[in-house]
Each structure stands twice: as C-alpha cells, then as structure tokens.
Structure 1
Amino acid sequence: MNELKPGEVISDFTLYDQNLNEVHLHDLKGKKILLAFHPLAWTRGCAKHMQLLEDNFERFQAANALAFGISIDSVHSKKAWARELGIENTLFLADFWPHGQVARMYGMFDEDRGVSQRASIVVGEDMKIRFVKVYETRSLPDIEEIFDALRD
C-alpha cells in the first residue's frame, strides 16, 4: 500500500470515463483535480456521493477544478448509472481492469471487499497532492473541506 503525502507529485494513470473517453491524469496539468473514490456504483451511499459532485459542478468549474468519481465498476455500468442518476457533467472513471489498479496504486483498495475505499484526493495544478482523506464507507465527504483544499 502506497501512502500518499501532500506535496508529492501524484502518480499518473489513464482510465476511461463513462463516455468511453480516455482520461490521462497528467494531461490535466494546469487544472485542480478531485479524485473521489467510492466503493461501488448502484449503491445508495455512492449515489449520494456522486450527486454531491454533480450538485457542485459549477463550484468546481469556478475553482478551475475537475471532479472525477472513481470506482471498480465497468465503463458500461458507469454510463448506465450516470444516466440513471441524471448525471450530466461529472465524469465517472472506470477502474475496472486490471481490477482496481488505480485504487491499489494510491493505497485506496480494500482487499477484503474487493472495492476501493471512499476517499478524496485533491491534486493541484502542478500535479502535487494537496489533500488526502479516507472516510468511513457509509459517510460522505465534507464538500466544504474539499473546497478548502482546492483553495489552499
């Protein structure tokens, strides 16, 4: 398990979003990024978590930030789930195969359950980690804490 430390450059990855677009993390240099890990699509708590991101989409834009919901679900599952939730702006990334590779790389994979933990990683425009927090599975991130990290 890797321990992410604020101030370090985040390791790069490439994943697909729910629209089958490739998202290469380090191509986003110049933007702030929230990587919002959640255990599974199609669950009530994760739906609330992703709605929180969607509801704050304009605030993320105003902060020069992109928010990504990441789980071990497939691209097709993420696409159907986004449609079901009415998500139009927030991108969901599929860490499906190799199973949970990005979550594992960041030390966010729950080996006992086979899913990622619920966690927030805030990355600055310089690709340096600003904030990392792992939450209890049933609790939601404090969105104001995330925006504080985006401002720092």
Structure 2
Amino acid sequence: MTEVPAPTEPRLRDQFGQPWAWPPVVAPEGAAAEAEAGSLNGVWLVFLPGAFTPVCTVELRWIDQLAQLCFPERIGVRVIAPDAAPVLRAVADEHQITTPLLSDFWPHGAAAQRLGCFDSETGRPCRTSVLITTDGVEMARVVGEPSRPRTVEQHVDAMVSAKRPDVG
C-alpha cells in the first residue's frame, strides 16, 4: 500500500516579495494589510488561475471593493495566484490594487492543494474562493466556472450565510 505524502507547506510571498505564514491571516510586519492584524474574524482566500488572464482581470477589478465590504465584518481578503511575486507586483501596480496579492508559485500550487482547489490537469488553481477563520477552518466557499468571473455579490452572500446560525 502506498502512503500518501503530507501536503507541502505553502510558502506564499506578496507582490513586494515579503513572506506570509500559512494560513495567510496575519500580514507580515510592515505589510499594507498590517492594520487589520489581530482584529480579523476570518479571511477570504480568492484563488486566481492566472493574474493576467481576461477573466481574472475582471475579478481583480472588484477585489478592493470586496475588501471594503468585508472590513466592517472584520474579514480580510487575500488574492492567491500561481504567478511569481514580480508578476503580481506588475498587476497590482497596473490596476492600482491595494488588497494583498500572494504568490503560490513555489512550491507550485501548495496553497491551492491545501484547500482542495488545485487542478492537476492544468497546473493552476480552480476559480475558487475560500472563507476561513483565523484558525484556518473553512466557513464558506464560492466556486466559479473556469470561463466566468465570480462576483462581489457571491462573496458577500456566502459571508452572510456563514454568519447565520444553523436552523434545525
């Protein structure tokens, strides 16, 4: 019987090259998202198959809006893409994105694999967003079609649903 190897620990880097711990809840010292550190209830991890693809670019246009809508609920937002940190820096600069963009470049796709949203056939993450607690427990998930962008509304609806107590 073959033993399944343990998942590789993600080694995320933001668009400035700073390393982020897994799960990426607390921003490294000096990072733009540092002001929210220690005060979050959870974090949206928004996985993109590629930062410069047309559908991903549409999603990046609303990512700062999502962060603003989540802030009163003490929910952070992190974008995770398989692109290298310098590519993410170019994307952030071009689109004036202030939300942290995290590179899951190496070990390739480790964060996406950790959350079960890595497509091994394409070598890229699926178009998936995962809302986790600060302890890394999944609260909600938004799964998009490969060729259609997710929306801010899908994320807000999922966040609101995750806060509701179970009615049984």
Q: TM-score, normalised by structure 1?
A: 0.81
The aligned residue for residue 60 of structure 1 is: 70
Higher strand share: 1
Q: Distance in 1 between matches of 2:89 and 2:115?
A: 24
> Which is greater in Rg?
2
Identical-pair percentage: 26
Deviation at 1:50, TM superposition (A): 1.6
Ranked by relative contact order (alpha carbons within 8 Å, sequence separation 6 or more), the top structure is 1
The aligned residue for residue 20 of structure 2 is: 23
Deviation at 1:13, TM superposition (A): 4.5
Q: Distance in 1 between matches of 2:117 and 2:80?
A: 11
The aligned residue for residue 135 of structure 1 is: 144
Does residue 110 of structure 2 align to residue 101 of structure 1? yes
1:143–1:69 distance in 2 versus 1, CA, 3 Å? same
Q: Distance in 1 between matches of 2:150 and 2:156?
A: 11
Checking the alignment, whether the CA contact within 8 Å between 2:25 and 2:43 is kept in structure 1 is no
SS in structure 2 of the partner of residue 45 of structure 1: helix
Can you give the 5+ residue segments of structure 1 that lack an aligned partner in the other structure?
A: 1-11
Q: TM-score, normalised by structure 2?
A: 0.74
Deviation at 1:35, TM superposition (A): 0.4
Checking the alignment, whether the CA contact within 8 Å between 1:30 and 1:125 is kept in structure 2 is no
Q: Which moved more, 1:122-131 or 1:59-68?
A: 122-131
Superposed CA RMSD: 2.2
Deviation at 1:80, TM superposition (A): 0.8
Deviation at 1:27, TM superposition (A): 5.2
Can you give the 5+ residue segments of structure 2 that lack an aligned partner in the other structure?
A: 1-8, 27-37, 164-168
